[in-house]
Amino acid sequence: MLHIILEQQVSLASALSGEITAEGVLTLSDEELKACYFSRQKTRYVKHLAEMIVEGQLDLAGLEHLSDAEVRQQLCAVKGIGNWTVDVYLMFVLHRADVFPVGDLAAVNALKKVKALAPDISKDGLLLIAEGWKPYRTVATMLLWHIYLEEKKR
């Protein structure tokens, strides 16, 4: 979860770090986290997440037994975690095969390019297109990310 929070609106390179525990995060000062490329806001988010885990208010391991909607409800209750973070967690941690992260700019921009969509298409319009990919919207998203990254290389 920490890696996903760090990946929000920052490069993947700055999000990479070693194994981290909730207890370990709580022992670090704000200055130590800043030295690890945590912004002031991300520091607050990560410490809040760590506190919830340590206090037993959030059981990350137990999330795998919940529906996507239940996972979303529990994770969005954590300060700093929104739908994009939940979507990525569902896809990469819980290995859910049917997630389309409509808030992911890379996936959305690739979809707009591939389908020659209007730049101002609504989220509902995007979700309607993604409905056709059920139950493998995660796979479609990964293909869109691949297209996005290949375009970026050019």
The reply to whether 98 falls in a domain is no
CA-to-CA distance for 59 and 29, rounded, in angstroms?
24
pLDDT at residue 11 is higher than 90: no
pLDDT value at residue 7: 63
pLDDT of residue 12: 41
What integer pLDDT is reported at residue 17 of this predicted model? 52
Asked if 10 and 84 sit in the same domain, the reply is yes
DSSP code of 59? -
User: Is the CB of residue 74 less than 8 Å from the CB of residue 58?
Assistant: yes
What's the total number of domains in the chain? 2
Tell me what percent of the residues of the chain surpass a pLDDT of 70. 89
Out of 30, 87, 98, 104, the active site residue is 104
Q: Is residue 145 part of a domain?
A: yes
Say how far apart CA 33 and CA 98 lie, in whole Å. Answer: 34
* Annotation says 87 is catalytic: no
Distance separating alpha carbons of residues 68 and 70, to the nearest angstrom: 5
The domain in which residue 136 lies consists of 105-153
Q: Within 13 Å and on the Cβ side, how many CA atoms surround 120?
A: 0
Provide the 8-state DSSP code for 65.
Answer: G
70 and 139 fall within a common domain: no
The answer as to whether 20 is a domain residue is yes
